[in-house]
A = this chain, B = another copy of it.
């Protein structure tokens, strides 16, 4: 049976920008599993299966899961004979990497891209998006993102631990990518999908890692609609 996944989309069906959804699309490819993605918008809560209210939401036969970490766990449990996303022993540190990505990297990126998100989402999503995000940051999106140069400099500093790590090895997983790589890479796909801002210098070690992941799985991520990086 086909596995399906609700995937956050912009105004165009092909513009898929959720960092959490990108984790799972890369994870599915890692496990060599096909997935049919269904474009979904912020204001379509009613279209999601009962009991879930966020994306990615994965539907595999009778199983419905609406959380990226739980989906990754499920995929390894359900399909243990395909390449593992993470062994039991690395799962603990992947939780730390995920906490760092969500509490440090995503907020630093939000300052750069949140207005670009607004510009790329469907008309019907815009009022909800602007109102909820401006309430969260206490400013207009325009004021919050005004100083791109400073925000990019702050972002580049924020990701320095990633840079140090990737000077010593090709992937966060070591010689090959694992779920932690897809978690961190999801943040870069989020930006790439909706923002023309250049986040990294061409000679940044992180940019080389990003290129490897953009090319992985026959260019799954690199061929997606977005801005050149």
A residues engaging B (CB < 8 A)? Answer: 86-97, 99-100, 102-104, 160-162, 164-165, 168-169, 171-175, 178, 180
Inter-chain CA distance A87–B89, complex, in Å, is 7
Q: Is the CB of B103 within 8 A of A174?
A: no
Q: A interface, by DSSP: helix, strand, loop or mixed?
A: helix
Q: Which residue of B lies closest to A175 (CB)?
A: B92
Report which of B89, B104, B160 forms a contact with A174, defined as CB distance below 8 A: B89
Residues in B neighbouring A165, C-beta threshold 8 A: 92, 95-96, 99
- Beyond the given pairs A89-B174, A92-B172, A95-B165, 6 more chain A to chain B contacts, judged by CB atoms under 8 angstroms and listed by A's residue number, are A87-B87, A90-B92, A93-B180, A99-B161, A103-B161, A104-B160
Q: Which residue of B lies closest to A184 (CB)?
A: B96
A207 to chain B, nearest CB (A): 17
